[in-house]
Structure 1
Amino acid sequence: MSDWMTRKRMLILLTLAISGVMTAVAVSSLFVARQASPYLYDDIQALPGNKVGIVLGTSRYTSEGNLNGHYRRRLEAVTALVRAHKIKYVLVSGDNGTRWYDEPTRMKRDLVRMGISPDIIYRDYAGFRTLDSIIRAKKVFGLENFTVITQRFHNERALFLARAHGISAIGFNARGTLVQTDFSNRIREALARVLAIIETYILGTGAQVLGPEIVIGDTPPT
């Protein structure tokens, strides 16, 4: 076989492989979105009430040093739900992987500044990933149903994971979307959905860290 024919065959195989990966990513994203869709709410009046709302963590600042709009809008959504009596307690779940990075404490402080009582805010220090936050809500905080608070693109994946793990969660969509030009985060979210499906149906991945049970409402917040 000539070098030209070999190169042509390799190019065809590479093209097919790339097309296959892109198709798998697109199908996975659509599947996750459709599984979550019946349990997502944009209208605060239509949202059913729950005892606990879980706000998923993110950095307060962008890589450029600006205030992260997704962070601010999640906390705004939390305050709106508390004031509308749609949730009674708040669980702030995020990454506290080092002593210098503590998403839950940062979120709690900012919520208190926004008028939310510290007596209703609980912190989950081991919400390293969305999967951890969801599973720990059930296995550590004893929640069989709750309201997840984050942007829709994130809520779709969170609700997919919750429902796949037998949790009757619903989601309230904070304002904000992934803009078309934000390629890095759009790719990251698309790949995260593929990983969510693999970890759910193939690997059976659980939370990295569990711990003693904390009963929200009975145990004082830390």
Structure 2
Amino acid sequence: MTLGAALLLVLLFFMGSNLWILARTYPVIESSIAQCGPQRVGIVFGTSHWTRGGSQNPHFYSRMSTAAGLVHTERVEHLLLSGDNRTRSYNEPRAMWRALTSFGVQPEQLTLDYAGFSTFDTLVRAQQVFELDKAVLVTQRWHLPRALYIGQALGMQVSGCVASNHSVDGEWRLRIREWLARVATLGDLYIWKRQAYFLGPVEPIEFPVNLEEVSTASESAGVELDDNP
């Protein structure tokens, strides 16, 4: 009876943790590009562009096409590409950069984060290294709740944009792993106070100067701009 009660408590905690995270993040998840944002920066989470079987990873290309769509429809101005580059032979951000530029996104609209070793690291670095407090997160629907919850817990104003694609073989394993990862996230945030694997110096994202915005701000402040160079 004691063992049964313990197992029941574990199951209730497991289910409750997942339902809590899903309920907290559901209102800020959008399924279509037209409804996502608008926001200055979109954070795109890295994954391998190849599957273990050697074929192209549909999850990777779904994220890239959705991110490119956000830029082309002006729902975001800039993309932070965060992924794993733990070894010389494996470089997720570089693969993301190549895919997005092939989709017509300009290089100056892309910032690469080579130390996004996990969802947690990506968001901590987005806040502390790239100084972002607002962003649209781009990834699959089953991944978004955990990513959004971490962002919210860090004090960021985040929303999610679903990178839609058809189900693939073996995706059920990813979904089960994600349910487990959501529970572990609560421990990362509130119990053992996890830290990012690597931070490094602050590198704020620089945006092109919008002269129209500068003019509007100056007029509202009562400052007269000098037209001379």
Q: Answer whether TM exceeds 0.5 for this pair.
A: yes
Q: How does 1:94-109 map to 2 (within 5 A)?
A: 94-109=83-98
Q: 1:82 aligns with which of 68, 71, 78?
A: 71
Q: 2:143 aligns with which of 150, 154, 157?
A: 154
The amino acid of 2:145's aligned partner reads E
**Residue of structure 2 equivalent to 1:213:** 202
Q: Which runs of 5+ in 2 are unaligned?
A: 209-229
The amino acid of 2:138's aligned partner reads I
Check the 8 A contact 2:40/2:77 in 1, yes or no: yes
Distance 1:168 1:118 in 2: 26
Distance 1:205 1:109 in 2: 32
Secondary structure in structure 1 of the residue aligned to 2:35: coil
What's the CA shift for 1:140? 0.3
Check the 8 A contact 1:52/1:91 in 2, yes or no: yes
Secondary structure in structure 2 of the residue aligned to 1:45: helix
Secondary structure in structure 1 of the residue aligned to 2:41: strand
1:55 aligns with 2:44: yes
Q: How does 1:134-145 map to 2 (within 5 A)?
A: 134-145=123-134
Identical pairs, percent: 36
The amino acid of 2:110's aligned partner reads I
What's the CA shift for 1:187? 2.2
**Residue of structure 2 equivalent to 1:3:** none
Q: Which runs of 5+ in 1 are unaligned?
A: 1-11
Q: How does 1:114-193 map to 2 (within 5 A)?
A: 114-176=103-165, 182-193=171-182
Distance 1:130 1:107 in 2: 16
Distance 1:177 1:190 in 2: 20
The superposition leaves residues 89-115 of structure 1 with CA deviations (integer Å, 9 ceiling, x where unpaired) of 111000111111110011101111111
What's the CA shift for 1:181? 6.1
What's the CA shift for 1:21? 3.0
1:180–1:218 Cα change, 3 Å: closer
TM-score with structure 1 setting the length: 0.87
**Residue of structure 1 equivalent to 2:20:** 31
The superposition leaves residues 140-184 of structure 1 with CA deviations (integer Å, 9 ceiling, x where unpaired) of 001010111001111111000000110011111110376796442
Farther-moved stretch of structure 1 (130-139 vs 186-195): 186-195
What's the CA shift for 1:129? 0.4
Check the 8 A contact 1:152/1:177 in 2, yes or no: no
What's the CA shift for 1:17? 4.1
Distance 2:151 2:42 in 1: 14
Distance 1:177 1:161 in 2: 26
The superposition leaves residues 47-89 of structure 1 with CA deviations (integer Å, 9 ceiling, x where unpaired) of 2311111100111111111211111100010111001101111
Check the 8 A contact 2:83/2:93 in 1, yes or no: yes
Aligned pair count?
208
What's the CA shift for 1:118? 1.1
Check the 8 A contact 2:139/2:162 in 1, yes or no: yes
